[in-house]
C-alpha cells in the first residue's frame, strides 16, 4: 500500500469524528512524524518526536510525563502490509489512553483499506475506459496492448472477440448503468458507458457466449447491435468504428440487430445531412406513408411480392399496384436491383435525418 494514501483530509475526518466522544487531544501523524490532523489546529505541520520514535521502532511509544517539547500520552504506529504509514497519538495517562489509540489505529486502518479499494477500483475503471475508447475511436490499438491492459485490470480475456452496443429504446427504459448490472457474473465480458450507451467487449467469443450477453441485455430492456462473433482483433476494431458511426445517427428500436445487416445504414450515416435530405426529397417526398411502407417491406423481403404481401397483410395484386404507383411517382422499379438499391439508400437516409432531428430536439 502506498503511504501517501494516508492523506490529511482522511486523517482530519477521523479526528473530527472522534472529537465529540474523546476528551483527550488526538493527533495523527504521517510516515515522517509530521502532524497532519489534530484537535489543536496550531500543531498542524509540526514534527511530533514521539511519532518519529514510534515509526523507527514500529512499536507504541509511551510518554509517562510532560516534557519541554512533548506531552504525556501514547503514540501507536499505523502499519499496513508491513509498511509504517503513520502514527496515532493521544495525550493523557498512557494506561488510560492507549486502548483508545489502538481502537483509532484499527479505525484508520479500515478506512485506509477502504480508500485503497476505491482507489484501485477507480484506476481499473479508468484503465478499462481508456482502452475501449481507444478501440472505438480507431486509435490503432494492438492486440498485445489489449491483452496486457485486460490483465492489468484483472480481466484476462482472450480472442476471439465480439464488440456490441446496448442502449435504452426510450427515456422510460433502464439506463446504461442498469444494463451494465445485468452482466454481473459473466466473466468473459467487460463494459464501459459512453454517450448514453453501454459498450461491451466479449472475449473467447462464439455465437453461444455472445448470445448469453445479448440475451441478458435485451431482457433488461436494451436495444442491441452486435458485431460479428469470433472476430479477430482487426475485425473487432472495424466493427467498433462501424458501431460508433452508426450510433451517431441511429435511434434504438428495442430490437437486436446484427451489425452486418446494417452496412447500408453505416454508409449512409457517413454522408452529410444535406445529401441525405436531397435523396429523401427527390425519392421519398412524392410517396405517401403506405407507399413508403410498401417500398421498405419489399426491399426487406428480397423484392418478393408474395412474401411482402404476407408481411403487409394484403393481396399480392395490391402490392403489384403499389409498386406500379411507386414507379410512376419516382421512376424507380423496385423489382430491378439498381432501383431497389437506390430506394434502400433513400430509406436509410430518411432514418438518418429522423435520428438527427431527434438528437437536435433532445
Domain for residue 174, yes or no? yes
b/e string for 175-191 if b means 16 or more Cβ within 10 A? bbeebbebbeeeebbbb
> Could you tell me if 7 and 110 lie in one domain?
yes
> Could you tell me if 255 and 285 lie in one domain?
no
Domain for residue 292, yes or no? yes
pLDDT tier, 269 (very low <50, low <70, confident <90, very high otherwise): confident
- Residue 303: exposure state from Cβ atoms within 10 A (0-12, 13-18, ≥19): middle
Domain for residue 132, yes or no? no
Domain for residue 136, yes or no? no
> Could you tell me if 8 and 112 lie in one domain?
yes
Q: Which of 269, 275, 243, 272 is nearest to 258 (CA)?
A: 243
Write down which residue in 80, 101, 116 finishes a domain: 116
> Could you tell me if 256 and 280 lie in one domain?
no
b/e string for 276-298 if b means 16 or more Cβ within 10 A? beebbeebbeebeeebbebbbbb
> Could you tell me if 284 and 226 lie in one domain?
no
> Could you tell me if 177 and 243 lie in one domain?
yes
pLDDT of 361: 53
All cell numbers assigned to 51: 511519532
Task: CATH number of the domain at 99, please.
Answer: 3.30.450.150
Domain for residue 36, yes or no? yes
> Could you tell me if 317 and 342 lie in one domain?
yes
State the residue range of the domain holding 316.
Answer: 271-361
> Could you tell me if 222 and 280 lie in one domain?
no
pLDDT of 2: 42
The model's pLDDT over 95-113, given as tens digits with 9 standing for 90+, comes to: 998 998 899 888 888 888 8
Q: Which of 161, 302, 178 is nearest to 239 (CA)?
A: 161
Task: CATH number of the domain at 297, please.
Answer: 1.10.10.2840
How far is the C-alpha of 218 from the C-alpha of 211, rounded, in Å? 10
Q: How many domains does the chain have?
A: 3
| Cβ atoms 135, 239 nearer than 8 A | no
pLDDT of 3: 43
All cell numbers assigned to 307: 412474401
Amino acid at each position: 500500500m502506498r503511504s501517501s494514501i494516508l492523506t490529511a483530509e482522511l486523517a482530519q475526518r477521523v479526528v473530527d469524528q472522534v472529537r465529540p466522544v474523546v476528551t483527550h487531544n488526538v493527533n495523527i501523524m504521517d510516515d515522517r512524524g509530521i502532524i497532519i490532523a489534530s484537535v489543536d489546529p496550531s500543531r498542524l505541520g509540526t514534527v511530533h518526536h514521539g511519532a518519529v520514535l514510534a515509526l523507527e521502532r514500529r512499536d507504541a511509544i509511551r510518554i509517562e510525563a510532560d516534557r519541554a517539547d512533548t506531552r504525556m500520552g501514547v503514540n501507536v504506529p499505523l502499519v499496513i502490509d508491513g509498511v509504517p504509514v503513520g502514527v496515532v497519538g493521544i495525550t493523557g495517562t498512557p494506561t488510560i489512553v492507549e486502548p483508545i489509540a489502538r481502537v483509532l489505529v484499527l479505525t484508520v486502518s479500515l478506512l485506509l483499506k477502504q480508500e485503497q479499494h476505491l482507489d484501485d477500483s477507480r484506476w481499473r475503471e479508468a484503465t478499462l475506459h481508456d482502452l475501449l475508447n481507444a478501440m472505438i475511436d480507431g486509435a490503432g490499438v494492438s492486440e498485445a496492448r489489449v491483452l496486457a491492459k485486460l490483465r492489468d485490470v484483472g480481466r484476462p480475456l482472450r480472442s476471439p472477440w465480439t464488440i456490441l452496443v446496448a442502449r435504452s429504446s426510450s427515456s422510460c427504459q433502464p439506463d446504461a448503468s442498469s444494463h451494465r448490472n445485468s452482466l454481473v457474473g459473466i466473466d468473459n465480458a467487460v463494459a464501459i458507458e459512453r454517450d448514453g450507451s453501454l459498450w461491451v467487449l466479449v472475449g473467447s467469443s462464439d455465437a453461444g457466449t455472445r448470445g448469453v450477453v445479448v440475451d441478458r441485455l435485451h431482457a433488461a430492456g436494451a436495444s442491441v447491435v452486435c458485431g460479428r462473433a469470433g472476430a479477430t482483433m482487426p475485425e473487432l476494431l472495424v466493427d467498433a468504428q462501424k458501431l460508433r458511426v452508426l450510433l451517431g445517427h441511429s435511434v434504438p428500436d428495442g430490437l437486436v440487430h446484427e451489425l452486418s445487416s446494417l452496412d447500408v445504414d453505416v454508409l449512409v450515416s457517413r454522408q452529410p445531412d444535406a445529401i441525405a435530405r436531397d435523396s429523401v426529397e427527390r425519392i421519398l417526398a412524392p410517396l405517401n406513408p403506405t407507399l413508403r411502407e410498401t417500398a421498405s417491406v419489399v426491399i426487406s423481403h428480397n423484392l418478393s411480392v408474395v412474401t411482402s404481401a404476407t408481411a403487409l397483410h394484403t393481396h399480392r395484386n395490391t402490392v403489384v399496384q403499389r409498386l406500379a404507383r411507386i414507379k410512376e411517382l419516382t421512376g424507380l422499379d423496385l423489382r430491378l436491383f439498381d432501383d431497389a438499391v437506390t430506394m434502400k439508400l433513400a430509406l436509410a437516409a430518411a432514418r438518418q435525418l429522423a435520428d438527427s432531428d431527434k438528437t437536435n430536439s433532445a
